[in-house]
Amino acid sequence: MKKSPLKSTKSLVAKKSLKSKTPLKSGGGRKQTKPTISKLKKDADKWYSKACRYRFASLVDGEWVAECITCQNGLKKPLKELQCGHFMSRQYNILRYDSENTAPQCYGCNVRQQGKQFEFGIQIDLLYGEGTAKKLHKISKKPHQFTVEELRQVIEDSREEIQFYERELSGENQ
């Protein structure tokens, strides 16, 4: 059987890099890289979202349920069916993980109706006091760049909050 010209008989270790004269190493050990801000932000969003939904939830028949902050129709949904809605969009980093700026929302309100910001603002003022929505709007104008440490702290705090609620489900906090 004739060998294809693309196949090589030499091992990978014996090959040389095209850019340098040093031999290539086999792909056995990958170099550990520091997590990027965008990767940490994605993880922080995931954990914070779950913690936010728990914050507004109640335990009914062994299941955590909550109401959409903007629907206000009295219909409680399982946490899996809700999202972490933001009064001021996540693009405003300074408020991205602010508990006064976030609350559970159904997919219809959060995505299809672009967050129903007006209704969200009314509910924020009812929850946290008159003028809170205006205060958040003003704060949102301040620029903010996350650090690795800040995002790691958000992830850690959110995980601890989730564990607190899940212990309550299992009856450990009684």
Q: How many residues does the chain have?
A: 174
* 85 neighbors 103 (Cβ within 8 angstroms): yes
Residue 85: band (very low, low, confident or very high) from pLDDT cuts 50, 70, 90: very high
- Across 10-24, 44-58, 129-143, least confident range: 10-24
Residue 137: band (very low, low, confident or very high) from pLDDT cuts 50, 70, 90: very high
What average pLDDT does the segment 10-14 reach?
A: 51
Q: Which residues pair with 105 in a beta bridge?
A: 83
Query: How far is residue 85's CA from residue 102's CA, in Å, rounded to a whole number?
Result: 6
Query: How far is residue 52's CA from residue 10's CA, in Å, rounded to a whole number?
Result: 56
Give the rounded percent of residues in the chain with a pLDDT score beyond 90: 69
Report CA-CA distances (Å) from 8 to 11, 13, 42, 52, 162: 8, 12, 42, 56, 53
Q: Helical H runs in 6-144?
A: 37-55, 107, 117-128, 132-139
Question: pLDDT for 139-167, tens place per residue?
Answer: 999 999 999 999 999 999 999 999 999 88
Ranges of each domain in the chain: 36-167
Question: pLDDT for 95-117, tens place per residue?
Answer: 999 999 999 999 999 999 999 99
| Interior angle at CA 16, CA 14 and CA 17, nearest 5 | 145
